[in-house]
Amino acid sequence: MNGRGGRFRRGWWTPLGLLALALGLWLAGCASKAPSPPRRAEPSSPESKKTKPTQRPYTVMGKTYYPMPSADGYQEKGLASWYGPNFHGKRTSNGEVYDMEAMTAAHKTLPLDTWVEITNLDSGSKAVVRVNDRGPFVDGRIIDLSKAAARELGVLGPGTARVEVVALGYRKLGTGVAGRPAEYEPPASYDVGTFTVQVGAFTVKSNADRLAANLRPVWKNVFVVRYDRGDAIFHRVRVGKVETLAQAKELEGRLRQAGQLQSFTVAW
């Protein structure tokens, strides 16, 4: 008899051969597979349980930013810019769809959904906007305006302007647009808080300790603070502990002049 693989041997078709074949098939059916090891559940991140996603540290172009726990004490002067068509219709950092004709703004560290009042220091124009995105990631700029906000503040043409930004807090009532005044839950104080300046963050503690030791002879109050991000441990090097944002920004400026170009102010 012919098969696909060639000719079968005649011996398999004897009664003894058939019996051997049946016995082999029965033994194969009785054999059981070894049970698969139970799948181990992935450990949950302690940080994910304590911190809202929008308040977790994030990294852009190699630099890590640490959102402020609150807007308390935020009042700052600096350069504003604006962003529009290239981002219109895309997702913002709080999950909304960016509308360049809405009164919104991007800020690197303020809590998302905080309302701020912005004053153009050259013209005196004012606008109230809601922070719903992160940015601008350009050194020296403190806020990125929507096209509508830039138009109202006179920033649309020049592209940038010197501004003062003051946190109003979270909106309580109203819309915040002209003719329909809003009420806000204000921060406890615009003048006091606890601030410091971060000059570096390392996964290797010895590197953080080395930088701190180099800074202490000149800057005195230098701290190494351990931070568990959930997926890694960081050792942050911080300088100073002051009571106002203005003092912290002044300290940040001196540190940058001294060569610590990655310095930035954070809430303690």
- Of 10 and 147, the structure prediction assigns the larger pLDDT to 147
| Mean of pLDDT values over 33-61 | 50
> Is 69 a residue whose pLDDT tops 90?
no
pLDDT band at 51 (very low <50, low <70, confident <90, very high): low
- Which residues pair with residue 162 across a beta bridge? 79
DSSP 96: P
Half-sphere exposure of 143 (CA within 13 A, CB side): 37
Domains, the chain, ordered by start: 51-185 (2.40.40.10), 195-267 (3.30.70.1070)
pLDDT band at 186 (very low <50, low <70, confident <90, very high): low
- Of 9 and 70, the structure prediction assigns the larger pLDDT to 70
pLDDT band at 213 (very low <50, low <70, confident <90, very high): very high
Q: Per residue in 107-139, is it b (16+ CB within 10 Å) or e — as a string?
A: bbbbbbebbbbbbbeeeeeebbbbbbbbbbeee
Q: What percent of the chain has pLDDT over 70?
A: 71
> Is 206 a residue whose pLDDT tops 90?
yes
Q: What is the pLDDT of residue 66?
A: 84
Q: Do 113 and 54 form a contact (C-beta atoms < 8 A)?
A: no
> Is 215 a residue whose pLDDT tops 90?
yes
Q: What is the pLDDT of residue 135?
A: 93
- Of 183 and 217, the structure prediction assigns the larger pLDDT to 217
pLDDT-wise least confident of 34-38, 78-82, 119-123, 151-155? 34-38
> Is 19 a residue whose pLDDT tops 60?
no
| Mean of pLDDT values over 242-260 | 87
Q: Per residue in 160-178, is it b (16+ CB within 10 Å) or e — as a string?
A: bbebbbbbbbbbeeeebee
Question: What residue type is assigned to position 182 of the chain?
Answer: A
Per the omega criterion (within 30 degrees of 0), is the bond before 187 cis? no
| Mean of pLDDT values over 50-59 | 72
Q: What is the pLDDT of residue 45?
A: 35
Stated pTM of the model = 0.52
- Of 87 and 10, the structure prediction assigns the larger pLDDT to 87
* Strongest mean pLDDT among 32-36, 52-56, 173-177, 184-188: 52-56
Can you list the positions of beta strands (E) in 2-125? 2-3, 6-7, 58-60, 63-65, 75-82, 104-106, 115-120
How far is residue 118's CA from residue 173's CA, in Å, rounded to a whole number? 20
- Which residues pair with residue 5 across a beta bridge? none
> Is 172 a residue whose pLDDT tops 90?
no
